[in-house]
Structure 1
Amino acid sequence: MTAKVGRVDHPVVAVRDLQQTRAQYQKLGFVVPPSGKHQEWGTENLCIMFPHDYLEIRGIGDPGKFLAGVDTFLEKGEGLYSVAFNAGNADESYQAGLAAGLGIEPPRDLNRKLVLEDKTLDLYFRTVMLDHSLYPGLTHANLCEHLTFDTLRQPGWTDHPNGVVGFGRLVGVVSDFDQAETAYVKLLGADNVRRGADRILLNFGEGADIELISPSEAERRGDAQERLGDAYLASATLLVKDIGRSEALFAANGIRYRKVDDRSLAVDPADACGAHLYFQADGRGAGGA
């Protein structure tokens, strides 16, 4: 891969009120740890952990600091706003990106402080921002190197009542398939980009893959979001151990959903803080890897 881009590390949902969102995602059947604050940025977040990836829910804590575009996105509403790819080594990814002629920024150090009942966790990352032209259909994207991977996953945090074990697929909308194919070949390498007649599939070798579709296909699926234009991150699929168990929990908690087929459910975005989320039976083994 031309910028040493790893697997999908975590999608991000942008919201206005983290505490209300925490309560709502608990109703969806997730174990939701307390919120943490980015010390160098003006953002706060909730991180719902899975064995190999996670879902970040991000809000604004200090509007006077760097917000990575969250404020601009929230002007149009809440929902899926970003994807972070894993970087095994942020410096190596940056240097490889430079050598390949990519628009890429030097790594930034980032610390998230998370206060628990019995201790305070200091979580450390290094993040590399990518030029917007490199990730059509994802709204926003960056590379993330974890320096405290194990600390990020405390006992019990990955044992979700809804049975989720990880991400299976993210879907982005693009209007220009030629431009999107060129951009992702540049970022990921040709072997990881597969162009079809009506879609582009991005493969990372493990974890979630990414499907890029047209605005009309997003409309057909019920995932079109006109407020975001003609290129955006549209939906995410979460893999579960037992779809029947997930459906029973949604029904018990008053979550609105529709049955897509015998293996998958689509939650009403109004019950997921604007995010279009699918829950699907995991046919690939624990963690979806």
Structure 2
Amino acid sequence: MSNLSPRTPRPVDHLVLPTADLEIARVRLEQLGFTVAPVGVHPFGTENVCVFFGDNSFLEFLAIGQRETCEAEAIKGNVFVARDQAYRFRNGQEGFSALVMGSENAKADHQSFAEAGISAGNILDFSRPFILPDGKEDRAGFRLAFAADLRAPDIFFFTCERINTPKVDRSALQLHANGAAVLREVVLSEVNPTDFQYPLQEVINQRDLNAHSFGMDMAAANANITVLTPSGLKAFTGIESSTMERGLRLQAFVLGVRDLAAVESLLISNNIPIEKRGSRLIVHKAPGQGAAIAFEAL
């Protein structure tokens, strides 16, 4: 009977974008007009820089800090690190590897994923220092529950429960020169999108979907999750995708901005190539930016 009960869609919490070098990522992001948070260090060998938005979503640019620690943690069953290593092995050091949903109960999510046959391994509990630009520090705690599909080795999912939210003011980190305010859409690709309808419905906690000639989309609590065919991906984003290679892949994300003309001026002044598609400005991936970014007016 539980399968017939209404569901409350999860929000997108953040996106994981592997990168080779955090400093290269920081420079690229600042050229794009983002405010970048200080480096965060994980206890299992990875490190990141993040870009935060006003809707409480964020981008996580992830690098290898201590390779030996990462390898040891992967052997011990740390799914986050093991999946990151597998992604880098198959795709290189730059990319877009994980879609992360917000959660208030990661243990329950883990149970649901196991029952649905999509659990990717053990829950991960960890905490790390959180430092603001003014030097203030707190500890942020997290509990992660993982999901994956063996048919799609180049993507994984997890829900993130924030065990301890740092009592710090993030407003300065949410103000960006490009005016980016919210995450509007996450774009994936697959030759036959509805083949992945079921696992995505479980991850997003959303039964309703809109199927169309270019693919399908589902509404998370704060953003659309769109899976496009290769022709749909080309039409909407200008990204070329193989018509033969199967499996979900994360390709791009869409950000809502306050003034699109101002974004265009900023990007041109910083010599960032842009492509106009409909009402969006698209910046294709580059070193330090593992996914295409589309900007659209709020």
Quote the residue 1:32 is aligned against.
Answer: 36
Quote the residue 1:224 is aligned against.
Answer: 240
**Structure 1 residues 186 and 89, CA, compared in 2 at 3 Å: closer, same or farther?**
closer
Quote the residue 1:210 is aligned against.
Answer: 225
* Whole-Å separation in 2 of the counterparts to 1:90 and 1:81: 20
The match for 2:214 among 198, 209, 220 is 198
**Structure 1 residues 68 and 143, CA, compared in 2 at 3 Å: closer, same or farther?**
farther
User: Which digits, 9 at most, give the CA deviation of each residue in 1:43-83, with x for residues without a partner?
Assistant: 11111111221111111112222324223323423122211
The match for 1:237 among 234, 249, 254 is 254
Compute the displacement of 1:265 (Å).
0.3
Compute the displacement of 1:101 (Å).
5.2
The answer (yes or no) to whether the contact 2:191–2:245 under 8 Å persists in 1 is no
Unpaired runs of 5+ residues, structure 1, are 283-289
* Whole-Å separation in 1 of the counterparts to 2:251 and 2:232: 11
Matched, 1:184 2:200: yes
Quote the residue 1:171 is aligned against.
Answer: 187
The answer (yes or no) to whether the contact 1:137–1:233 under 8 Å persists in 2 is no
Q: TM-score, normalised by structure 2?
A: 0.82
Matched, 1:22 2:36: no
Matched, 1:9 2:13: yes
* Whole-Å separation in 1 of the counterparts to 2:128 and 2:148: 24
The answer (yes or no) to whether the contact 1:90–1:143 under 8 Å persists in 2 is yes
User: Which digits, 9 at most, give the CA deviation of each residue in 1:223-261, with x for residues without a partner?
Assistant: 2355x9433111111110110111111112221112223
**Structure 1 residues 274 and 152, CA, compared in 2 at 3 Å: closer, same or farther?**
farther
The answer (yes or no) to whether the contact 1:169–1:210 under 8 Å persists in 2 is yes
Compute the displacement of 1:106 (Å).
4.1
Secondary structure, aligned partner of 1:20: helix
Compute the displacement of 1:21 (Å).
0.8
Quote the residue 1:55 is aligned against.
Answer: 59
* Whole-Å separation in 2 of the counterparts to 1:174 and 1:98: 24
**Structure 1 residues 101 and 225, CA, compared in 2 at 3 Å: closer, same or farther?**
closer
Secondary structure, aligned partner of 2:35: coil
- For residues 129-140 of structure 1, what are the structure 2 equivalents within 5 Å? 129-133=146-150, 139-140=155-156
**Structure 1 residues 192 and 169, CA, compared in 2 at 3 Å: closer, same or farther?**
same
Over the aligned positions, Cα root-mean-square deviation in angstroms equals 2.8
The answer (yes or no) to whether the contact 1:5–1:143 under 8 Å persists in 2 is no
* Whole-Å separation in 2 of the counterparts to 1:208 and 1:119: 31
1:211 partner amino acid: T
**Structure 1 residues 127 and 216, CA, compared in 2 at 3 Å: closer, same or farther?**
same
* Whole-Å separation in 1 of the counterparts to 2:63 and 2:153: 22
2:224 partner amino acid: D
1:124 partner amino acid: G
* Whole-Å separation in 1 of the counterparts to 2:222 and 2:48: 23
